[in-house]
Chains A and B, each alone.
Chain A
Amino acid sequence: MMFCCESCCSFVLQVFGMELQAVLMAAGGGSRMMDLTYNTPKPLLPVGNRPLIWYPLNLLERVGFEEVIVITTKEVQKALSTDQRLKTDVKMRLDVVCIQEETDMGTADALRHIQQKIKTDILVVSCDLITDVALHEVVDLFRAHNATLSMLMSKVHEFTDTVPGQKGKKKAGEQRDFVGVDVTGKRLLFMANEADLEEGLVFRKSIMRKHPRMLIKTGLLDAHLYCLKRSVVDFLVHNKSVTSIRGELVPYLVRKQFSKFLNTKNATEDTEKNQKQQDAHHNLELLSTSKEEALLQLARERSCWNDHRGDMSEAYHGGKLRCYVHIMEEGMCYRVNTLAAYIEANRVVPKLFEDPPIHPTAVVTERSLVGSDSIIGPYCQISDKTSIKRSNVGTSSTIKEKVKITNSIIMNGVTIEEGCNIQGSVICNNAVIGRGADMKYCLVGSGQCIEPEAERTNEVIVGSDQLMEI
């Protein structure tokens, strides 16, 4: 691909292969917040009056990507071409690949599906990531150390807001992740999830010998942002049993850094192991070392740098497979995959943008009171004597008179009749709240109608046909 842009006698010729291709995974179902997503696909959930998928796309665009491969479902594809915000704000070229919802493809399966399109190393982003990370931190680790995997993690924030429908203190189902890094805090040595461990953490001696000091961290959130080498995609093609990037591929790569196979030149020495397994490992080794040219090897030999001190081995202990992680200490990083995270994100995100809090097309009468930390979406109608504090009101919603809304999230197309009092709640698309209703900490599902004068506290109101089948 070549284009000439003459500006001040400088040429910008894209004559070389691209460094990185971006892949956005937007086919996930949002299985941990079914109440919100049974009618709206997760990528289209409004956060701060923008669809969730806008945030990773904006991140990629800000950093300089010019095209993104988006893997998603048909519904989201339609929205990408029709939604105002997505069509006009996103200048990148979106190459949308549709997959059927019913096939239940894992993220690694999706990569295998688009294998033909992948020509260089890839940056995989999840559609539910909202962050202001300086992406060059992650990519620099990938570039400088010629890493196979480079990922982003962040310190977990405790969510303090009350979540509708939550009975008592939560954290029953949250499984901890154990992440082991070396002294610099950049090299990823160990990764395991509590669910996979039976009794305790098991460390291989080879890791301890090479990295005697390891820091184990548990309070980290995986941002699901990965830089992967091209050879990993080829490896996935050969190993069809790997379905999920986070669940299977990443722990596998982290383990394989210290595997004996990858440090010997001739993998066929081991004849006792399962031949197929060996072929798989052999493939990964071959695919990643064929690129290492003799010159690079010479440069490394002549360089007086070593990543560790104290033992007799060369840089990186001679290992060809390296995994790195960038842990964000400050800054914002949310994965909107639970209701609590969704509510928190809605709270934090509007502060980032310089958009006017009240959209110019919204009709807000003078006698209504809209707080400075609320945002009103386009085409809304806010009537007299309405008070809206610390809330987000979505597109085309109608709020009638004398309504009090505090700490809530009103999605698109919602109608709220007179005299309602809504506190700490989430009202989904196209719901109707009847006159005089009093909702505290409730979640009203998509298209639901609440009868007038209803009084609900801490309830999740969804249609009976959308209830999950157990």
Chain B
Amino acid sequence: KKQHKKNKKDDRGPPEKEKEKEKASVPAPSKPATQSPAHKGTAFAILHSLVFVSFLYFLLVVKRLPEHIQVDDPAALKKLAKKLERQQVPLRSDYGYKVSLFSHLHQYSRKNPPTQQISIPATVIHPSIVRLGLQYSQGIIAGSNARSVALLHAFKQVIRDYSTPPNEELSRDLVNKLSPYISFLSQCRPLSASMGNAIKYIKKEISNIPSQCKEEEAKRRLQECIDSYINEKIILASEAISKYAIEKISDGDVILVYGCSSLVNHILCEAFEKQRKFRVIVVDSRPRLEGKEALRRLVKKGIRCTYVLISALSYILPEVSKVFLGAHALLANGYVMSRVGTSQIALVAKAFNVPVLVCCETYKFCERVQTDSFVSNELDDPDDLIVTRNGKTHLENWQTVKSLGLLNLVYDVTPPDFVDLVITDLGMIPCTSVPVVLRVKNVDQ
């Protein structure tokens, strides 16, 4: 809504400025003419200048809309195409009919990989970034933590192979070098919030390299920064979260998990090692069926598991004592962005009075604000929804049916009313304390 208002303001802006200028010039000559109209004139002038100033302030404070949710705006698309052309990154075209509510998002097909137009061997884009992009688009690296770790690993290789050109400074040039890579990765798959935070961190570290630092020293320092970031924010954070979460797991618990969250799996495995007696119900949903992977990992550890699909949720909830959910990102207004289906689980659990605990590291906290799942989301390949049973594929020619659209959403947003506790590495906080954490983080940095 805020952004919509801002757009409206944009439209009103330029004509407003002109009108304002006119009005400003009109009162001035009329001032010396008469006394009472002069008062009114100055009042008008002050009011208009106030509006103008507040408009400017508004412009400065509100961030611009990211391009990846403006796909239906031809101007934004043109701008993106120009930027990609300048960076020599190929533009990936959208695929298939998009449901009208989500036509502002990209929808790519796995059959058109982003590497179609890249030369072999990759020269403009570092080979490890090309490999990473391919792994993202094919889903080989999926999950917020995995994507961030893989991204930082690829950046380490980029830094290792980087050498400063003459007359350039590493602190500025390396950041410029990373921009086309990031554009390429976002063409392969839209960046996650955790990846965005990791990129911000790395860029900050690079620009903080003092100019008299030698190249080898600088590279070594950057590699160490990356290692310590991963160590602190991901590995140690998951240890800390496990410690807090295990306090919440008591013997005899029936824990419900959804999909495959690396953090929640880690917590459960740790709890099992610490001899807690509990059993797990894994809820899964199509088309990704990630729950099967979670089930495999838990059963391999020795935990007793039950596996259901999300349609059986209300049947199984009476048995459940706690719900543990993972998160893709935690938004600044306390909403939880996670795999599609999570908000359903939270909703039904609330109806059954089952406590919902969300586990999330602090590096996934994001300054974005969202109240619905429409504005910013990700559309996956619609062909994933097509299933072949008994040799028959009913949806094979879905593109020929004009009134049919296939929608494969990836994320949804859970309101904080349904979440009872968020377990982070800073402790166990209620959902509404997320902005506090963000503020503290910003102060630290």
Contact = CB atoms under 8 A, between A and B. Distances in A.
Interface of A: 2, 4, 8-21, 63-66, 123, 134-136, 139-140, 143-146, 293, 295-296, 298-306, 309, 312
Contacts of A10: 86-88, 180
B165 interface: yes
Interface string B113-141: 10110111111101100110011001111
Given A4-B165, A15-B162, A20-B120, A300 B138 contact: no
Contact of B123 (A14, A134, A136): A14
A11 B87 CA distance: 8
Given A15-B162, A136-B116, A296 B121 contact: no
A64 B149 contact: no
Given A134-B116, A136-B113, A299-B149, 19 more contacts: A4-B165, A8-B85, A9-B86, A11-B177, A15-B163, A16-B127, A16-B161, A18-B127, A19-B120, A21-B121, A64-B118, A140-B113, A143-B115, A143-B130, A295-B149, A295-B152, A302-B143, A304-B261, A306-B292
Given A2-B165, A8-B86, A10-B87, A303 B141 contact: yes
A17 B134 contact: no
B118 A136 contact: yes
Interface in B292-342: 292-294, 296, 299-300
B26 interface: no
B20 interface: no
A16 B162 contact: yes
A463 B267 CA distance: 81
Contact of A298 (B115, B149, B161): B149
B152 A303 contact: no
A9 B149 CA distance: 31
Contact of B122 (A2, A9, A19): A19
What 10 pairs between A and B have smallest CB-CB spacing? A64-B119, A304-B260, A16-B161, A19-B121, A303-B146, A19-B127, A302-B146, A299-B150, A295-B153, A302-B262
The secondary-structure label for the interface of chain B is helix
Contacts of A139: 115, 120
Contact of B153 (A299, A304, A305): A299
A171 to B, nearest CB: 33
Nearest to A303: B146
Interface of B: 85-88, 113, 115-116, 118-124, 126-127, 130-131, 134-135, 138-143, 145-147, 149-150, 152-153, 156, 158, 161-163, 165, 176-177, 180, 230, 235, 259-262, 290, 292-294, 296, 299-300
A303 B131 CA distance: 16
Contacts of A304: 142-143, 146, 259-262, 290, 293-294
B384 to A, nearest CB: 14
The CB with the most chain B CB atoms within 10 A, among A65, A293, A301, is that of: A301
Contact of B126 (A16, A65, A140, A145): A16
6 contacts: A16-B162, A21-B121, A140-B113, A298-B235, A303-B146, A304-B290
A117 to B, nearest CB: 15
B444 to A, nearest CB: 25
B300 A17 contact: no
Contacts of A12: 88, 123-124
A92 B308 CA distance: 58
B343 to A, nearest CB: 19
Contacts, number: 133
A144 B121 contact: no
B134 A296 contact: no
Contacts of B121: 18-21, 64-65
A14 B141 CA distance: 27
A305 B134 contact: no
A19 B158 contact: no
B86 A11 contact: no
B431 to A, nearest CB: 24
Contacts of A143: 115, 127, 130-131, 134
The CB with the most chain B CB atoms within 10 A, among A123, A134, A144, is that of: A144
A124 B165 CA distance: 33
Contact of B161 (A15, A20, A21): A15
B69 to A, nearest CB: 25
Contacts of B142: 303-305
A1 to B, nearest CB: 11
Contacts of A298: 149, 230, 235
Nearest to B145: A302
Contacts of A312: 296, 299-300
B293 A295 contact: no
Contacts of B135: 144
A405 B135 CA distance: 54
Given A143-B134, A304-B294, A295 B116 contact: no
Contacts of B153: 293, 295-296, 299
Contacts of B119: 63-65
Contacts of A299: 141, 146-147, 149-150, 153
A391 to B, nearest CB: 36
A150 B355 CA distance: 50
A144 B131 contact: yes
Contacts of A309: 292
Contacts of A65: 119-121
A202 to B, nearest CB: 31
A311 to B, nearest CB: 8
Nearest to B138: A144
B150 A296 contact: yes
Contacts of A13: 165, 177
B289 to A, nearest CB: 8
A14 B123 CA distance: 7
A436 B142 CA distance: 73
A312 B299 CA distance: 8
Nearest to B180: A10
Contacts of B180: 10
Nearest to B161: A16
A442 to B, nearest CB: 43
A20 to B, nearest CB: 4
B104 to A, nearest CB: 28
B327 to A, nearest CB: 14
A17 B127 CA distance: 9
Nearest to A9: B86
A14 B121 CA distance: 11
A143 B142 CA distance: 17
Nearest to B130: A143
Contacts of B115: 136, 139-140, 143
A230 to B, nearest CB: 13
B267 to A, nearest CB: 13
Contacts of B235: 298
A293 B177 CA distance: 24
A303 B140 contact: yes
A63 B116 CA distance: 10
A124 to B, nearest CB: 14
B223 to A, nearest CB: 11
A17 B119 CA distance: 15
A119 to B, nearest CB: 12
A140 B112 CA distance: 12
Contacts of A64: 118-121, 123
A134 B115 CA distance: 11
A293 B127 CA distance: 16
B283 to A, nearest CB: 14
Nearest to A17: B161
The CB with the most chain B CB atoms within 10 A, among A134, A139, A295, A304, is that of: A304
Nearest to B131: A143
A309 B290 CA distance: 11
A144 B120 contact: no
A414 to B, nearest CB: 39
Contacts of A305: 139-142, 293
Contacts of B120: 19-20, 63-65, 123, 135-136, 139
Given A4-B165, A64-B119, A304-B260, A19 B130 contact: yes
Contacts of A135: 120
